[in-house]
A and B are shown apart, each in its own frame.
Chain A
Amino acid sequence: MSYIAKPSVAHKRLEKNAHGLTVRDYEGSLSTLCAGCGHDSITAAIIQAFWRLNIEPHRVVKLSGIGCSSKTPTYFLREAHGFNSVHGRMPSVATGAAAANRELVYIGISGDGDSLSIGLGQLCHAIRRNVNLTYVLENNGVYGLTKGQFSASADVGTKAKRGQVNRQQPIDPAMLALTLGATFVARSFSGDKAQLVPILEAALRHRGFALVDVISPCVTFNDHQGSTKSYMYTREHYHEVVEADLVPLRTPIETKQGEGEARQVRLHDGSLVTLRSVEPGYDPTDRDAAYLHLRKLAKAGEVATGLLYLEEGESDMHEMSNTSDTALVNVPFEELCPGQDALQKLMNEFR
């Protein structure tokens, strides 16, 4: 944390997006996390993704639970709507908010503790419902805020800062999401914005639940030797399987040159995602194959990254639950609250 505010002065030649805004306009207040925390770098990636997608900050809802990671919505999009829920309960608040107003863009920020321990059930059900939400899981293998206890994502054999070794099996959020039928599953690393930003962009444009598991080293409690979630370890075991690139609607498509097989998936809003398999034979649109491949890499101690699985066109929560097309705030009061008689009529139907 810093005592001075980040100066408002910016580079005069900072690029502007379609709304005439610079990335600086997508910032929030200054982070109070430890200097060097991976979470801050993810915050910066989120800022870039929203800026590049030309999403106006006030059209965004940012939600979180409890944890260092869950503090971060304060640090981006100061003009967005925000909700800091209780520990592990962000998914249900997000579900409710999305049901009430489908016109806004939803992003939930959580940690491995918040998502995989106390909030595991909530996470699973949000995936099942296919809530139209970008779910960023800032994964550092510990409960950072409560001083570094192992979380449920800690690998077997990883060492705590005081030397204890974890013996319990980890929960891999990406594999969990695949088994639960998630339609967008990605993993990235806070130290690789070149990969993370396009993934976040695709996730924000995806209709339905998008899980983005981001390895995010805790510099204070989990960046030492022997940790499997440190900057060094992650870089050494980094294994990119699929490279993703989002081509927004109405932008002429120029296929980037690169290694591997390319697939294109058209998203609901018309934009195109190019998925290039860096790993030969990997098919990011085949759920079962993806699952098997991830298991294989996990066993080998590799961190598989990239947009691992994408399926567009599945029903999302709005379709399945037949929610209101119009945001409830825009429904005239008489319609939203039709009065005692209407209620009585409805009640009678259940008699």
Chain B
Amino acid sequence: MTISHHLDDATLVAYASGNLPEAHGIVVEAHVAMCQACRAGLRQAEGVGGAVLADQMEAPVSDVCRSATLASLDAVLVQSPRAKTSQGEVPLVLSRLLNGKPLADLAWKKKAPGFSMFNIPTSKGSKTQLKLLSIKPGAAIPEHGHGGEEITLILKGAYRDHMGLYQAGDVADLDEDVEHTPIVVGEEVCICLVAVEAPTRFKSIWARLAQPFVGI
């Protein structure tokens, strides 16, 4: 898999420090599972976290916590190193969220001709939404500004916008003020995993999506 669009450094830092909203974190994990460059980048960002942890903070821990931990060691299963790779259609983190269902078997909701959506539930407290979009070749996504942090990972197919060609594995991690008009290219249906903040704003963006679909 050749990946040409990667995660923003600001996103890697936010993920490394544990501050990325839930849905965005899942998209990051899915991309990182496919992308060696971002895997290395993430390790670097985590190194900064390690340094901050090592040097900048300390809070005394109670004796109860210490003795309870030491007393629990025997009950802990020791894990041995093992190779963990999945050969699935989608990265493991996503397939777990889909309960192992193939993309084709999901209960897709048709939103417009050539455009369907599937909502992936996130935890109750999360202020983010995770969606799968399925868009047929030739269909265009109308120009829209991004509301809040939005990250899109292409799982299948391809689309093109003024930033270039996005193919499976590529991620569009753009600032909110970047306008773009992706058009699905090639023969295959394009399936993307999208994390968005601010659901109200999201609705307004995708509501505008409904009309100007071309193609099938």
Task: Tell whether A and B belong to one assembly.
Answer: no
